[in-house]
């Protein structure tokens, strides 16, 4: 048992009994407990196998290579659309964990076998972005916008594209692009500070909300 994990679990206010139960299961399966990324992490011979996490509405047992697990009980969840490797089991009660105890252990043992065999996840190349059509049109029609947008980091480009693409109607997508054109021309990301008051530069922390008009 890791002292930092013990301290974390001792001080946690949400899902304490559930996280303690998951900790016990992981240790019973022979995993080594470590403290990584400010979370309890369970490893096999130095290789990351699983991570515990607590959130507002649930707690999770995340398998680092969950995509490779057979998931015979259909209980694994994909964290997000772009997640290629991690899969987790979501819990909302201690009773649920106890009911799935044997399944959790079976999944852990399968994950350990994958590490013994040194099986790796083959990641797809997601670096190439496909921009929403309205954004492509703006880039084609306005050279200054094109230069400014292409000067943004890939992460900032992706954030803008995701926001524009999320609008269901073309007119809404166009309106969003027009709304952020000036910001893009200034070389700012969608979440960057433009008022200069943020204490979390370059990110916006909401300080602009307290600017008083003259």
Cβ neighbours for 161, distance < 8 A, ≥ 6 positions apart: 129, 131, 132, 135
Per-residue confidence (pLDDT) for residue 213, from 0 to 100? 44
Cα distance between residue 36 and residue 55, in whole Å: 17
Q: Is this prediction's pTM over 0.75? A: no
pLDDT for residue 195: 60
In a 10 Å sphere around its CB, with 0-12 CB exposed, 13-18 middle and 19+ buried, how is residue 198 labelled?
middle
Q: At what angle do helices 3-11 and 16-28 cross, to 10 degrees?
A: 150
For the chain, which domains are there?
A: 3-116 (3.90.1150), 133-208 (no CATH)
**Residue holding tokens 């990641």?**
123
CB contact at 8 A, 204 and 193: yes
Each residue's pLDDT expressed in tens, for the chain with a length of 214 residues: 789 999 999 999 899 999 999 999 999 999 999 999 899 999 999 999 999 999 999 999 999 999 999 999 999 999 877 688 999 999 999 999 999 999 999 999 999 999 999 998 877 765 567 889 999 999 999 999 999 999 988 888 888 998 999 888 999 999 999 999 999 999 988 877 766 654 554 554 455 555 544 4
């Amino acid at each position: 048992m890791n002292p930092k994990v013990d301290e974390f679990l001792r001080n946690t206010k949400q899902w304490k009994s559930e996280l303690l139960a998951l900790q016990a299961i992981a240790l019973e399966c022979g995993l080594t407990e470590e403290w990584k990324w400010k979370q309890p992490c369970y490893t096999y011979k130095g290789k990351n196998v699983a991570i515990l996490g607590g959130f507002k509405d649930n707690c999770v047992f995340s398998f680092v290579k969950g995509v490779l697990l057979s998931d015979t009980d259909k209980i694994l969840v994909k964290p997000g659309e772009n997640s290629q490797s991690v899969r987790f089991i979501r819990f909302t009660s201690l009773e649920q964990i106890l009911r799935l105890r044997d399944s959790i252990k079976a999944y852990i043992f399968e994950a350990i076998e994958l590490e013994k065999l040194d099986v790796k996840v083959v990641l797809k190349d997601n670096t190439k972005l496909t921009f929403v059509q309205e954004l492509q049109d703006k880039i084609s029609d306005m050279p200054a916008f094109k230069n400014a947008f292409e000067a943004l980091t890939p992460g900032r480009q992706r954030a803008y594209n995701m926001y524009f693409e999320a609008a269901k109607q073309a007119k809404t997508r166009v309106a969003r692009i027009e709304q952020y054109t000036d910001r893009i021309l200034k070389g700012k990301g969608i979440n960057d500070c433009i008022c200069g008051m943020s204490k979390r530069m370059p990110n916006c922390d909401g300080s602009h909300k307290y600017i008083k008009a003259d």
